[in-house]
Structure 1
Amino acid sequence: MSEGAYQRLWDTSHVALQELLDQEQPLLQPVPDRERQSFQYRLSSLYLHYLGLLRRFDTLHDQMVQPQKRRLLRRLLDSVAGRVLELKDDLVRADLSEYHRLDRLLHDLKFTTADLEVPIPRYFLLEQSSILKERELMLAEILSRMEPVTSRERFPELRRTEAIILLQRAERARQGRLRAIFMREIRKEEERDRKIREEGWHKFSQDQAAVTIQKVWKGYLQRKRTQQDRRTEMEFIGMLPSPNKVESLGIMFQAGLRDDVRRLCQIEKEEELQLAMVKTHDSLRETEGPDIKEKLKEQIRQWFIECRALTGRFPDYPDESLGGSYLIFADKTPEQLKMELEAQVQESKKKDQEKNKEKEKEKKERKKKGKETKTRKGEADAILKVSPSKFIPVINAAHEEYITVWRSRHESVHPNQSFDPEMLRVEKRKEVEQEIRIQVDELMRQELKNLRLAVDREEERALKAPKKKTGKKTGKKKEKDLTPNRTLDSLFEELVVSGFLRKSQTVALKDYIGDYLYLGSTLSLANKLPMPSLFDIRQNVALYAVLRLGSPDIHSMAPLIRSILLVGPSGTGKKMLVKAVCTETGANLFDLSPDNLQGKYPGKTGAQMIVHMVFKVAQLLQPSVIWIGNAEKNFYKKVPKEEKEMEPKRIKKDLAKALRLLHPGDRVMLIGTTNQPQLAEMQGLCRTYERILLVPRPDYASRYVLWRQMIEAHRVHVTQGLDISALAKVSDGYTPGHIHQAVQSVLTERRVLQLSKRPLVASEFLGHLAKLEPVYREEEESLKDWYFKTPLGKKRLKLSKDQDAEEAKLAKEKKRK
């Protein structure tokens, strides 16, 4: 695409953005609980449209070259991503579920499941590529200094004569097998000749033989023609890949090269802008700086004179914490400014008096509130509304900047996509004015002091600053540093050597294969609570972990999520999701699993030290993922005898304390994985992990996609002879891990080489699947029952029961009528 095409995409994106901003205001009005479905529908529609905008802005930010446009697009991209996270949070509260059935909405909006995919901004990894390379080199250097854990396997040495005898034996065996095959064929041919001699040979006439040959040949040609017509029809309707796949791959490769070229141009233009920013700042300070300084001094002196004429004395100079002389130039008269400065002191006194009165009122009202809490809670639950957004003001400001600056600007002004020097001068002029204003404030404070001494013979009066609020302390709680004299490099090396900081495998989130649940609304209408699909899991991990950890701006303003728990049978890809989060965000992977803690840092102080070190390094090297495998062991109801030496619960309290110290902007996330959550204490587990995602075994649609893509990953072309649908049906109950093992066992290098002579069939996979233990329905039902004991699961179950009761009442009323 050309720059003009991207500009047109930007224009249409802002038209869609304006429509969405117009829809935001009605959702802020509270809605009664009986209108829950319509509220969910409107909220889901807004969520889907914002996802589409996020995809557009990601493409624009990744490919537009003009550096000043990219700065605005970056703000739009981050704020739209944050708005998507806020809407997801509202959807969870409205739906009382982590998973949403949007199939009916997709049908109404004419969207596909591709529109539900959460786009991961490409700048997450591109902007920190150099940092990631440095960390990889540091990690590789530390690992190279460590002693190898396992020694290389040594093979027994053979003498020359023994090796020759072994080769001769193998060759004689090969020749014997070939002779046996030839003899078997000879015996079959002799048996065939004997039967012909005994039964007699049927002789055809010349015409009969010709007719028989023609019949066979015409049937073969017709079958081949029918197959070709069917394949052409299937390609036309998009059910089979087109034969021009090689050409399309070449076109895609060329498009990828063009994208890389545009990214190189972005780097060049950005470097030009950075140099121009420094030069423009210096030139403005030299040329316009003295004039700005004198102008500010004259204005402040004029303010001194006007205040002296009106009030009879020189004014108090505003403190720098209140804005300094910026308050003077706020288009206000000297009397108004004086009143505001005095009002600030009086407001602090009034607030103190009001707080004392409020405390007395609270004591009186506590008794009355005890009886009304239950009814108020019920009323609050019955009202649905969208929570106020932190990102909407940012989106509005960026949208207004686009309208005023970029919408009417023609691309012919800067055809090479370089920066706009006039716009840069306006921005830098404001910075220079701010710097000079601070210097002028210091000079004018001294001049005001001298004027008071000379004219009024009055000592300097200090402006009474407003008292600090004596309410709840708002700020980060600081933990006592247990390693005050340690450098980051030494802590990093110690964690690597101890095995707590690991190198994560490169796994893309899109490699977690799974299809969408297309019958979610149908099942809900039949009063059945459907299990989530693997597509839902991938989507939630992208929203809860990847988008938040990838950008500090998004994390600082989005709803805070410190921890996630992935619950599901073994083999469903929970560890793969953890690795995918690290890959997509460039995060460090810390392992605090109970098995990894065994024998390391013993005692209570040791547990405190390792948790402190891990969280300290994780915060200094953001983004970071702290993984705990077998998370139920930290919250055992009863520790098994064989695991008492491991002490799995020893970091339980320190872990909870460290999590509470994480605040918005700290891109550190705890991700736990477990397949036996029933063994854990429910209350402690749910307090530590804020979001619990149930990872199910794959349904039919996901199994079909898994089989197909895993087979094609071995460079095997799936033909009509391989019945993928039958494999997906037979493998019900098997996890993605089981399917992966079966595919690897069958598609060896030798078998892939034989595909041209012996095509692949579905029955080859069945033997390997039979050796594996599937996930039985009872195990999945037990996990489902456990999930409905979690806080969100209880609310969801209660909502479904209430809906069933309302439907039953309506049915009875209809019968009476």
Structure 2
Amino acid sequence: MSEGSYQRLWDSSHVTLQELLDQEQPMLQPVPTREWQSFQYRLSSLYLYYLGLLRGFDTLYDQMVQPQKRRLLRRLLDSVAGRVLELKDEMVRVDMCEWHCLDHVLRDLGLTPADLEVPIPKYFRQEQSSILQERELMLAEILSRMEPVSFQEVEPVMSRTEAIILLQTAERARQGRLRATFIREIRREEERDRKMRESGWHRLNPNQAAITIQKVWKGYLQRKHTQYDRQTEMEFIGMIPLPGLVEHASVANLRQDVRRFRQIEKEEEFQLAISKTHDALRETEGPDIKEKMKEQIRQWFIECHALTGRFPNYPDESLGGSNQIFSDKTPEQVKMELENPVQESTKKEDKNKEKEKEKKKAKEDKTKKSVRQLLNEADTMLKALPSKFIPLINAGHEEYKSKVPGSHPPSSIDSQPLVTPPHTLLSLQVDELMRQELKNLRLAVDREEERPFKAPKKKNVKKKAGKKKGGGPVPSSARSLASLFEELVVFGLLKKCKAVLLKDFVGDCLYLGSTLSLAHKLPMPSLFDVRQNMALYGVLRLGSPDIHSMAPLIRSILLVGPSGVGKKMLVNAVCTETGANLFDLSPANLQGKYPGKAGVQMLVHIVFKVARLLQPSVIWIGNAEKNFYKKVPKEEKEMDPKRIKKDLTKALRLLNPGDRVMLIGTTNQPQLAEMKGLRRTYERILFMPRPDYASRYVLWKHMLHMEKIQVTQTHLDISALARVSDGYTPGHILQAIRLVLTERRLLQLSRRPLMASEFLAHLAKLEPVYREEEASLKVWYFKIPLGMKKIEFNKDLEAEETRLAKEKKKRK
């Protein structure tokens, strides 16, 4: 695509953005609870439109060259992504469910299931590629030093006589197989000659011979024509990729890479233009601006001295220096901020505590009300919560309208926005001069020496008694980040994640979800829904610091599902897409490491400290139910799986917006754990059932394609395989495919096509997920608060519909 094409996409995206901003205001108006279906429909349609807008802004930011447009695009891209996350939380609140049935909304809006896919911005990994390479090199260096010690393998020793006997056995077996094949061919030829002698030679006249040759030749030609017609038809309907599609894709990728190199060149030009503009501003207007700033600061000195009787402290560089003086504040306000930072911090803490208490009371009041009361009360209303990202989106849209007046602007740099406020350029020089002048004024007027700047006092931490100087582990504050990083790698707590993309977690969406919902049935999520939730909850939040700081905070996720469904694959995919570090705090991995109560505290402290310093980070806990066992089994008492429980919940509460650290737990037996403990630790619980028919069909097709097998050119019935493999997980399907498609079988594909019956024997040997196991997981999931709300809501809806039906019958 050319620059003009991207500019047209840029203009059309802003037209769509204006329409969406017009729809935002009606969503804030309250709606009766009885109309929750229409409210849900409007919320879902707004969510889908924002997803499409996010997809367009991602393409534009990845390929547009002009630096100033890209800065505006980056702000809009992050703001739209944050708005998508807000709408997702609203949909969960209204639907009382983590997955949503949007097939009827797609049908009404004329969209396809592909429009449900959550786009992952490409800059997540591109802009931190150098950091990721440094971390990989550091990790590889540490692992290479560990390899001779920890991975030393003992090779089996074989004597010379045993080796000769082994070679002789293999060679004799090979010669025997060749001799058997040769004798079999000789016997076949002898049998053929004997039959010919017994039946006699069949002779044809010239006409019969010509007809026979014509039959064979015409049959051959017809088969060729039929195969060609079938190939062209399959290419036309998109079942087979076009022959030149790979070449076109490579050319398109090459052009995209060229545009990315042009982005780097234009960015360098932009930075050079900024430096030139600033230098020119300093040379031409610098002296006059300095004098004006000095006069204003002197005036501030005089006003503060008239109010308080003495000169104020000059703002420290960490607080912004003279920029704080030029803000729209009175001298009294600036003085209070500088001299009483401790009081303000305590007041803020008190206010925050009061707000937390009020929130807790409000949550308790909400949980006390049942869904039946919400349906019957006339005063209860539904409305969308105010958004933090709408003002940012609106500001970006207004900037676009003010700076792009209709025509396509050139890709060159616009010189007008390069001028920055003058006091920001010269503030450091002026601050040094005015600090010295303030010192002289104090000596001359008040005869007072310079007062040091009072920083907020830190609370004294009492040292624990009973510890000697040489004992105990070295505190992490006295160690460097590199040493802590190496210690976690050596102990196996920091691991290298597998390179897996989120799109490799294959699954199809649920096409009959709305139909089941109308029948008051609870449809189970598909693998597509699980992938979408992980993209929203994990990838989008961890990928950008701006999105994480303003989006609804989610610190932890729990993935619940049978083994083999792909829980660990999703954890690796989140790390791969965001470039996050992977910390493994599974109970089995912690056995024998950091013993004692102090050791556990040190372990959690080091892990969370390194995770914060090397953001983004993912802390994974496999078999998460073991941390919250109702009763620890005898064979696991030595492991002590519950020892990390208290410190983990405390450390999670300290994570604030902007700390891109997420805890992801995986479990296939949540029934063994205490419900309260899991609910306190994990904020979002995602259920992953075994795949349905549509997902199994896509899985078989995708996995066979990964083995370089064209399904359309074989006699393989994918539909039959998807039907037969009901109850099997993606891990089972992959295992069966690998067992069948050996190297020898792949070489035989040209002579012997692949058949569906070959997979059945291997599938029969595997243990499927029985309905009882999945039913127990469903029962557990609907015992969590969100699941209980959904069940109660459906029951109340059914009761309301039966009551209305009875009233209609009475009227008749």
Normalising by the smaller structure, the TM-score range is 0.7 to 0.9
Q: Could you give the per-residue CA deviations for residues 312-334 of structure 1, whole angstroms, max 9, x where no partner exists? A: 999999996999998998999xx
Quickly say closer, same or farther: Cα 1:327–1:767, change in 2 above 3 A: closer
* 1:254 lines up with 2:248 in the alignment: no
Structure 2 match to 1:465: none
Q: Could you give the per-residue CA deviations for residues 284-307 of structure 1, whole angstroms, max 9, x where no partner exists? A: 223212111233456778999999
Contact 1:280 1:428 in 2 (8 A): no
Other structure's SS at 2:37 match: helix
Structure 2 match to 1:177: 180
Query: How far did residue 678 of structure 1 move?
Result: 0.6
* 1:127 lines up with 2:127 in the alignment: yes
* 1:681 lines up with 2:674 in the alignment: yes
Other structure's SS at 1:692 match: strand
Structure 2 match to 1:464: none
Q: Could you give the per-residue CA deviations for residues 746-791 of structure 1, whole angstroms, max 9, x where no partner exists? A: 1112221221111112111111111111111111111111100011
More deviation, 132-141/180-189:
180-189
Aligned amino acid, residue 178 of structure 1: T
Select 1:724's aligned residue among 718, 722, 730. 718
Aligned-partner Cα distance in 1 for 2:437–2:775 = 76
Other structure's SS at 1:745 match: helix
Aligned-partner Cα distance in 2 for 1:331–1:652 = 48
* 1:571 lines up with 2:564 in the alignment: yes
Contact 1:289 1:436 in 2 (8 A): no
Select 2:755's aligned residue among 754, 757, 761. 761
Structure 2 match to 1:114: 114
Contact 1:307 1:315 in 2 (8 A): yes
Structure 2 match to 1:271: 268
More deviation, 163-172/804-813:
163-172
More deviation, 103-112/434-443:
434-443
Query: How far did residue 281 of structure 1 move?
Result: 2.7
Structure 1 match to 2:150: 148
Contact 1:507 1:580 in 2 (8 A): yes
Query: How far did residue 665 of structure 1 move?
Result: 0.6
Query: How far did residue 421 of structure 1 move?
Result: 3.2
Aligned-partner Cα distance in 2 for 1:323–1:484 = 27
Aligned-partner Cα distance in 1 for 2:102–2:92 = 13
Query: How far did residue 633 of structure 1 move?
Result: 0.4
Quickly say closer, same or farther: Cα 1:215–1:167, change in 2 above 3 A: closer
Q: Could you give the per-residue CA deviations for residues 568-616 of structure 1, whole angstroms, max 9, x where no partner exists? A: 0000000000000110111111000001111111222221111111111
Aligned amino acid, residue 99 of structure 1: W
Query: How far did residue 83 of structure 1 move?
Result: 0.8
Aligned-partner Cα distance in 2 for 1:165–1:501 = 49
Aligned-partner Cα distance in 1 for 2:243–2:627 = 52
* 1:241 lines up with 2:240 in the alignment: yes
Select 1:783's aligned residue among 774, 777, 783. 777
Q: What is the TM-score of this pair, normalised by structure 1?
A: 0.84
Structure 2 match to 1:555: 548
Aligned-partner Cα distance in 2 for 1:339–1:59 = 50
Other structure's SS at 2:243 match: helix
Other structure's SS at 2:589 match: helix
Select 2:743's aligned residue among 733, 749, 766. 749
Query: How far did residue 687 of structure 1 move?
Result: 1.0
* 1:399 lines up with 2:397 in the alignment: yes
Contact 1:33 1:383 in 2 (8 A): yes
* 1:662 lines up with 2:655 in the alignment: yes
Aligned amino acid, residue 154 of structure 1: P
Quickly say closer, same or farther: Cα 1:593–1:314, change in 2 above 3 A: closer
Number of aligned residue pairs: give it.
772
CA RMSD in angstroms, aligned pairs only:
4.3
Structure 2 match to 1:497: 490
Contact 1:317 1:324 in 2 (8 A): no
1:166-565, aligned counterparts within 5 Å? 166-179=169-182, 181-182=184-185, 185-186=188-189, 189=192, 229=229, 232-238=232-238, 240-242=239-241, 245-296=242-293, 382-408=380-406, 410-412=408-410, 417-424=411-418, 426-427=419-420, 429=422, 431-432=424-425, 482-565=475-558
Other structure's SS at 1:427 match: coil
Aligned-partner Cα distance in 2 for 1:434–1:408 = 38
Contact 2:50 2:80 in 1 (8 A): yes
Quickly say closer, same or farther: Cα 1:195–1:84, change in 2 above 3 A: farther
Aligned-partner Cα distance in 2 for 1:485–1:657 = 22
Contact 2:293 2:423 in 1 (8 A): no
Structure 2 match to 1:700: 693
Quickly say closer, same or farther: Cα 1:100–1:721, change in 2 above 3 A: same
Quickly say closer, same or farther: Cα 1:258–1:376, change in 2 above 3 A: same
Other structure's SS at 2:256 match: helix
Aligned amino acid, residue 699 of structure 1: D
Query: How far did residue 24 of structure 1 move?
Result: 0.7
1:644-655, aligned counterparts within 5 Å? 644-655=637-648
Aligned amino acid, residue 60 of structure 1: L
* 1:581 lines up with 2:579 in the alignment: no
Structure 1 match to 2:470: none
Contact 1:104 1:521 in 2 (8 A): yes
Aligned-partner Cα distance in 2 for 1:371–1:148 = 56
Aligned-partner Cα distance in 2 for 1:276–1:649 = 59
Aligned-partner Cα distance in 2 for 1:158–1:331 = 90
Other structure's SS at 1:799 match: helix
Query: How far did residue 187 of structure 1 move?
Result: 7.4
Identity %: 66
More deviation, 766-775/155-164:
155-164
Quickly say closer, same or farther: Cα 1:599–1:339, change in 2 above 3 A: closer
Contact 1:491 1:613 in 2 (8 A): yes
Aligned-partner Cα distance in 2 for 1:33–1:699 = 33
Other structure's SS at 2:662 match: strand
Structure 2 match to 1:5: 5
Aligned-partner Cα distance in 2 for 1:490–1:330 = 43
Quickly say closer, same or farther: Cα 1:167–1:729, change in 2 above 3 A: closer
Aligned amino acid, residue 30 of structure 1: P
Q: What is the TM-score of this pair, normalised by structure 2?
A: 0.85
Other structure's SS at 1:522 match: helix
Quickly say closer, same or farther: Cα 1:661–1:716, change in 2 above 3 A: same
Q: Could you give the per-residue CA deviations for residues 334-354 of structure 1, whole angstroms, max 9, x where no partner exists? A: xxx799999999xx99xx99x
Quickly say closer, same or farther: Cα 1:174–1:665, change in 2 above 3 A: same
Quickly say closer, same or farther: Cα 1:549–1:64, change in 2 above 3 A: same
Quickly say closer, same or farther: Cα 1:438–1:105, change in 2 above 3 A: farther
Contact 2:312 2:335 in 1 (8 A): no
Aligned-partner Cα distance in 1 for 2:32–2:144 = 63
Quickly say closer, same or farther: Cα 1:175–1:45, change in 2 above 3 A: same
Aligned-partner Cα distance in 1 for 2:462–2:527 = 40
Aligned amino acid, residue 94 of structure 2: A
Other structure's SS at 1:141 match: helix
Quickly say closer, same or farther: Cα 1:305–1:635, change in 2 above 3 A: closer
Aligned-partner Cα distance in 1 for 2:666–2:328 = 59
Aligned amino acid, residue 388 of structure 1: P
Aligned-partner Cα distance in 2 for 1:392–1:545 = 22
Contact 2:120 2:539 in 1 (8 A): yes
Structure 2 match to 1:806: 800
